[in-house]
Chain A
Amino acid sequence: MGRYILRRLLQMIPVFLGTTFLIYCLVYAVPGDPFAGKCGQRACPQSFINEMTEKYNLNDNIFVQYFKYLGNLLQGDFGSTFSGVPISQIISTSYPITIRLALLALFIEIVIGIAAGVLTGLGRKGFFDNLVLISTLLLISLPVFVTGFVLQYLLGVKWGVVNPTVSPKAPWNELIMPAFVLASLSLAYATRITRTSIVENRRADYVRTAVAKGLPQRRVIGVHLLRNSLIPVVTFFGTDFGALMGGAIVTEGIFNINGIGRQVYRAIQVKEGATVTGLVVVLVLVYLLMSLLVDVLYGLLDPRIRYE
């Protein structure tokens, strides 16, 4: 197990380099000169453009720019935005908020998704099954911004149950509504994956054996059936955590949350390669660690899976 984890950690290095380079290239490829529109309809003073170009190495070709960036990154310097704010500062203020939002969304997904999935998987074709199928279909078909605006309008503006936007510190209780919006799409998928997996495994030999042995139903379902059925669900949750963080752009915009989504969006618009890469680098790390965690969890869920 230890060797397996070590090997996986080492594999992360080329993946990390490859993804950061790709991201850097993508931002580089965004059309438009970053200083063409900065002074409105007037052209910016040449002295300003020259200084910024020099400062951010924008005259170099993409490879030189990337290696200069990487060199600074290895020394722990993420660079700064065009307005001079250190990117490390942006990361340290916005990441905790987005992680909190994504964790809460993940929690909502796990609780509601697995519960609804197990219940519908066991009692198929009932009223509850149909209700869940229809409501998840609805959630899947609604874009996040629609769910977001409707909830914000009804709960925040019309009924005044919660604040329509999240305050700067973004405490847990204010994040519940945005987290629900963020989770809504994945919630529907999680429910359906759990349901299918339960339905499949119900007919498995080991479940029949457990029932034949006369084990109580709670134990058959809770330990034997659920544990095996969770493998695809855990895979989904693992990658979804990263997706939730990246996908928070829309949700953070609607509820005015000061997370990474807003920063990435702004930075792409003004072509700030260093900011986008810096923020996404951390996101990539989250993805890699989550997928490692998922792989390790497989072994715990199903003892037949072994690593060497």
Chain B
Amino acid sequence: MRVKRFAAAVALPVAAMMLIAGCGGSSSDSSGGSSDPNAAISIQGTQPENPLVPANTNEEGGSIPLDVMFTGLVSYDTDTSDLKMEIAESITTTDAQHYDIKLKDGYTFHDGTPVDAKSFVDAWNWAAYAPNAALNASFFEQVKGYQDVNPTPPAGSTDAPAPTAKTMSGLTVVSPTEIKVELVAPYSPFKQKLGYHVFAPLPQSFYADPVAFGRNPVGNGPFKFVAWNDNTDIKITRWDDYKGEKPQVKDVTIKLYQSSEAAYADLVSGNLDFQQLLPPSALAGEKYQSDLMDRTLDKDAPRLTTVSLPMYDQRFANADLRKAISMSINREQIAKVIFNDTYVPSTSFSSPAITGYEADTCGEACTYDPAKAKDLLAKAGGFSGPLTLTYNSDGGHKDWSEAVCNSIKSSIGIDCVATPTPTFSVLRQSINAKQMSGLFRSAWSYDFPNLENGLSPLYSTTGSANDSKYSNPEFDAALLKAAAISDPAESNKAFIEAEKMLAADLPAIPLWSVTQKAGYSERLSNAKLSYTLELDLTQVRVNS
């Protein structure tokens, strides 16, 4: 809006610019019916925060290249997010605690060495071993023997005791094509968890120099690493000896952008083939529709935004008060006005992108009802002092935080103030130190598509991301019970039962889930978003 108003005013410098700049220009191919199997495409990315080692990558910049350079035991189906066997021939269990994994034969790494049971088990042991300081070590916490290779520091200390073993006792290489895994306790989501890239196999050359490997990775996936120019691009190319599903494009350049606005400008003018997430400026007023016509993709993101409550603060001890706050938030209106309907109001504690998701598990507590909210507030004895909603100001959360506060204020009369912290890390620091004194922003991105991943880490007493410090022994027991059921459908049902218990306690208030909007150029066809909301590079085609 604002830019448009200025457009007339800058006509003069623009005219001057026109005189100096008489160069550049871009060409675009017209589309035909068939596809070109050797085409090159470019997609948007960001500079990876860490060297490209699966166990050290937990953000999008690194995940985009890693997810296509490495193939793990299983993957998630692009259309349904269901589990798909990749290198694994079968994964069987009878008690959800002992798993027998059989591998397909004949897969190799890009350097020609075989992908066998050892290449998985060694990679997992390396990732879990504390002295290797892998960012994603905790993903192996369910495996028996994890505590020996990565002991927890005693309470109040940051110095962990030295590991007593180098490998986890729960992992056994039976033969080159068979792995046996024993977990500490029954844990049925383990199969789904295996699809996360931290469980990818690594070639033996990795262990000689992990740092050098991270700059020049050797994978086993459909695409092979070519080059990584810092802040500029990562180039990968199709690996023609791949045993699995072969891509229909050859060279892929992941262009590393600083801002999504710049990438969008390139997308619209044909210099970029795919953008994963359109910037807010393109969503405002549905500008993208005139820019991209129908070349956009929508998909539910495995992500959920909540505001959490500090359960350690006595002022929030009353459940009726928490419910009153939740019921005073007009989610529908905020999603419409602030997010241009790309966000969907939440009615449960899970994301609709997850298999087994059930709507309305939050029930009445997540519906907007100012009258009922007022009654509940009165019943709870009111609330003293201003209520704060803390958000980090480096991520574009100001508008909705203020809207949520205004909604609370106008519905039930609590004086609510949206309070910024300068950065995400400052916010995390105070949350980890239990210093929150009001509502605070929390958003969860699922690591793998299982209901459990949106519950245990966040709300179980020992959860690694339990920000509200919620503790309910019955809820913990319900989670354990669900994890012990090896039938996936039954297990999901049990997780839903556990989830419903949260609605009564409301340690966090679900706000909305995200529908991600991606865009692609005229050259592409059959563009699809994978479970991780990346472009499915094995299916995309280029018109010739």
* Assembled-state Cα–Cα distance A155/B23 (Å): 11
Confirm or deny: B259 has a beta carbon within 8 angstroms of a beta carbon on chain A: yes
CB under 8 Å from chain A, chain B span 1-48: 2-3, 6-7, 9-10, 12-14, 16-18, 20-26, 47-48
Confirm or deny: B169 has a beta carbon within 8 angstroms of a beta carbon on chain A: no
* Assembled-state Cα–Cα distance A54/B187 (Å): 36
* Assembled-state Cα–Cα distance A44/B130 (Å): 12
* A47-B133 in contact (CB<8A): yes
Min distance, Cβ B444 to any Cβ of chain A, angstroms: 6
**CB neighbours of B131 from chain A (8 A):** 47
**CB neighbours of A147 from chain B (8 A):** 10, 13
Min distance, Cβ B446 to any Cβ of chain A, angstroms: 11
* B135-A43 in contact (CB<8A): no
* B50-A83 in contact (CB<8A): yes
Q: A84-B211, A269-B394 are in contact. Are A155 and B21 (CB under 8 A)?
A: yes
* A153-B265 in contact (CB<8A): yes
Min distance, Cβ B326 to any Cβ of chain A, angstroms: 20
Q: Please encode chain A, from 235 to 264, with 1 for each CB lying within 8 Å of some chain B CB and 0 for all others.
A: 000000000000000001111101000110
* A47-B150 in contact (CB<8A): yes
* A173-B214 in contact (CB<8A): no
Task: Point out the residue from A51, A142, A258 that lies within 8 Å of B231, measured CB to CB.
Answer: A258
* B230-A89 in contact (CB<8A): yes
* A168-B230 in contact (CB<8A): no
* Assembled-state Cα–Cα distance A168/B49 (Å): 19
* B21-A161 in contact (CB<8A): yes
Q: Tell me the count of chain B residues lying within 8 A, CB to CB, of chain A.
A: 76
Q: A84-B214, A162-B21, A176-B20 are in contact. Are A153 and B3 (CB under 8 A)?
A: yes
**CB neighbours of A173 from chain B (8 A):** 23-24
Of the 9-residue stretches A3-11, A27-35, A197-205, A282-290, which lies at the interface with chain B? A27-35
Confirm or deny: B443 has a beta carbon within 8 angstroms of a beta carbon on chain A: yes
* A256-B258 in contact (CB<8A): yes
Min distance, Cβ A256 to any Cβ of chain B, angstroms: 4
Min distance, Cβ A191 to any Cβ of chain B, angstroms: 12
* Assembled-state Cα–Cα distance A153/B137 (Å): 45
Min distance, Cβ B143 to any Cβ of chain A, angstroms: 15
Confirm or deny: B160 has a beta carbon within 8 angstroms of a beta carbon on chain A: yes
Confirm or deny: A38 has a beta carbon within 8 angstroms of a beta carbon on chain B: yes
Confirm or deny: B164 has a beta carbon within 8 angstroms of a beta carbon on chain A: no
Confirm or deny: A293 has a beta carbon within 8 angstroms of a beta carbon on chain B: no
Q: A45-B138, A46-B160, A138-B10 are in contact. Are A162 and B24 (CB under 8 A)?
A: yes
* A146-B10 in contact (CB<8A): yes
* Assembled-state Cα–Cα distance A33/B48 (Å): 20
* Assembled-state Cα–Cα distance A176/B170 (Å): 61
Q: A154-B14, A164-B269 are in contact. Are A49 and B423 (CB under 8 A)?
A: no
**CB neighbours of B160 from chain A (8 A):** 46-47
**CB neighbours of B538 from chain A (8 A):** none
* B429-A180 in contact (CB<8A): no
Task: Point out the residue from B159, B271, B465 that lies within 8 Å of A165, measured CB to CB.
Answer: B271
* A184-B465 in contact (CB<8A): no
Min distance, Cβ B478 to any Cβ of chain A, angstroms: 22
Q: A83-B51, A146-B6, A254-B262 are in contact. Are A45 and B134 (CB under 8 A)?
A: yes
Residue of A nearest to B47 (CB): A266
**CB neighbours of A35 from chain B (8 A):** 425
Task: Point out the residue from A36, A93, A258, A271 that lies within 8 Å of B428, measured CB to CB.
Answer: A36
* Assembled-state Cα–Cα distance A108/B129 (Å): 57
Q: A43-B432, A142-B6, A176-B20 are in contact. Are A253 and B262 (CB under 8 A)?
A: yes
* A83-B49 in contact (CB<8A): yes
Task: Point out the residue from B2, B22, B138, B269 that lies within 8 Å of A160, measured CB to CB.
Answer: B269
Q: Please encode chain B, from 437 to 477, with 1 for each CB lying within 8 Å of some chain A CB and 0 for all others.
A: 00000111100000000000110000011010000000000
6 further interface pairs, Cβ-Cβ under 8 Å (given A41-B428, A83-B51, A163-B24): A34-B425, A47-B130, A149-B261, A180-B20, A180-B21, A254-B262
A residues lining the B interface (CB < 8 Å): 31-52, 82-85, 89-90, 93-94, 108, 112, 135, 138-139, 142, 146-147, 149-157, 160-165, 168, 173-174, 176-177, 180, 184, 252-256, 258, 262-263, 265-266, 269, 271
